[in-house]
Amino acid sequence: MLDLRLLRRLDWALFAAVMGLSLYGLVMIYSATRAPEAAGLAPPSQYAQKQLIWLGVALAAFALTLVWEYEAVARWHLPIYAAAMVLLLAVLKIGESPTGASSWIALGGFRLQPSELAKIAVILSLAAFLSRRSESIQAVRTVLKSLLVAAAPVLLMLLQPDFGTALVVIAIWFGVLYLAGARGRHLGAVLVCGLALFALMWNLDRIPLGRIQSPALRKALAHARLKDYQKRRLTIFLHPQSDPLGAGYHVIQSRLAIGSGQLIGRGLFHGTQSRLRFIPERHTDFIFSVVGEELGLAGAGVMLLLYLLLFWRGLRIALRARDPLGSLLAAGSVSMLMFHTVVNVGMSINIMPITGIPLPFVSYGGSNLLASFVAFGLLQNVHMRRDKIIF
């Protein structure tokens, strides 16, 4: 249980960074949804109110994460991992598809995205597995066994399809294995094999599936191949003007919004690109565009500095943890949050493909907010208990 004296050992700089980002999120979600109600949208306050409710749930989950020592939390990694896999299987059968991917399970007026919670299960399982094998981390068999921990949820995410979250799980695996001390050539070999598999998925449409005798293999290959719209989304950032009203529309409008903000922005609640709904997914995947338009380089820069503070403190916790388990839990949490941030900002400013990855603590969405606060709780848990004796 939690010794109240441990609360004095919270990383308050990290806490301030996360709460600052959460405040950014509430304000920018409200601003991004201030479209006229006549347009058929929900009242603008409804999105912010839902996010505020989820923030309360996320803070409760954060507090609960601090109660037990992280060793006790990690001992539950198997049932947590199993529950995550069951939810990922369930979403394939009963999931909703508001954006083309069956990734959500309806819960009253809210929706739960199991793939977000599966990321935490992967962090716990990888940390528990590798912390007991620190002496064999450079062996190929250990790397391959750890890869299976991440491969199962990645496969189920690709079947939804949820390509973005699958990439996050892969990034978590690389981050944890790197800090655990895996050989660089082993990680490089996995990366090369992954790229080769991706190239195969890209070109599966050239294989005549009708000639394959096995129905199971034919169905698996049909699910595995990338659809034309997915290919378009992944490559359109290279030349968005080639399809300005289709696949390139998101990127073009995002770039226009950020550029129009200049140094100090158009002013809070005065963004024309967002208010007139030119930016699709402006309160979720492209909320950084709203920040750039309304608050300009100055406001976006402050937000990015908060992220840098979060990453610095998180890496510091990982390097100063008292044992391998704490170090790997922190490494997985930081890898998850960092990958989300870099890819989301990158796609908003048109230097990365559009993958549908939200901005942690800022984008609208309860499941991602919940997963982000649990990762934040793991970081604080490791930091508070970095020493065995408290004076």
One-letter amino acid of 342: V
Query: Residue 280 above 90 pLDDT?
Result: no
Residue 327: per-residue pLDDT = 95
Instruction: For residue 112, list its beta bridge partners.
Output: 105
CB 204 within 8 A of CB 225: yes
Interatomic CA distance for residues 304 and 350, integer angstroms: 17
CA nearest 265: which of 308, 305, 302? 302
Which of 32-36, 252-256, 284-288, 306-310 is predicted least confidently?
32-36
Q: What are phi and psi of 49, to 5 degrees?
A: -65, -45
Query: Residue 290 above 50 pLDDT?
Result: yes
Which residue bears the tokens 């949208």?
41
Residue 44: per-residue pLDDT = 60
Interatomic CA distance for residues 224 and 45, integer angstroms: 40
Interatomic CA distance for residues 235 and 248, integer angstroms: 10
Which of 319-323, 324-328, 386-390 is predicted least confidently?
386-390
Interatomic CA distance for residues 73 and 66, integer angstroms: 10
Residue 202 CB burial class (10 angstroms; 0-12, 13-18, ≥19) = middle
- Report the 10 Å Cβ neighbour count for 185: 9
CA 157 to chain centre: 13
Query: Residue 329 above 90 pLDDT?
Result: yes
Q: Where are the domains of the chain?
A: 4-384
| Model confidence pLDDT, tens digit, residues 38-77 | 344 556 678 889 899 999 999 999 999 998 899 999 999 9
CA nearest 103: which of 168, 149, 49? 168
Interatomic CA distance for residues 57 and 63, integer angstroms: 10
Output the CA–CA distances (angstroms, integers) from residue 161 to 103, 154, 223, 226, 314, in the order listed: 8, 10, 9, 10, 30
Interatomic CA distance for residues 295 and 63, integer angstroms: 32
Helix (H, G, I), strand (E, B) or coil at 101: coil
Which residue bears the tokens 């819960």?
107
CA nearest 50: which of 375, 365, 385, 368? 365
pTM: 0.90
Mean pLDDT, rounded, for 181-195: 92
Output the CA–CA distances (angstroms, integers) from residue 369 to 24, 173, 288, 312, 336, in the order listed: 13, 21, 16, 20, 13
- Report the 10 Å Cβ neighbour count for 149: 21
Q: Give the best-scoring range by mean pLDDT among 102-111, 205-214, 264-273.
A: 264-273
Residue 206: per-residue pLDDT = 78
Residue 176: per-residue pLDDT = 96
Helix (H, G, I), strand (E, B) or coil at 373: helix
- Reported in sequence order, the residue ranges of the chain that DSSP labels E, i.e. its strands, are 105-107, 110-112
Instruction: For residue 107, list its beta bridge partners.
Output: 110
Task: Output 220 or 36, whichever has higher pLDDT.
Answer: 220
Instruction: Please report which confidence band the pLDDT of residue 2 belongs to, taking 50, 70 and 90 as the band edges.
Output: low
To the nearest 10 degrees (0 to 180), the angle between helices 249-261 and 287-320 is: 80
Which of 23-37, 45-59, 125-139, 209-223 is predicted least confidently?
209-223
Interatomic CA distance for residues 194 and 151, integer angstroms: 11
Instruction: Please report which confidence band the pLDDT of residue 388 belongs to, taking 50, 70 and 90 as the band edges.
Output: low
Instruction: Please report which confidence band the pLDDT of residue 230 belongs to, taking 50, 70 and 90 as the band edges.
Output: confident
Residue 390: per-residue pLDDT = 44
Residue 336: per-residue pLDDT = 97
- Report the 10 Å Cβ neighbour count for 212: 15
Residue 389: per-residue pLDDT = 45
CB 336 within 8 A of CB 375: yes
CB 166 within 8 A of CB 116: no
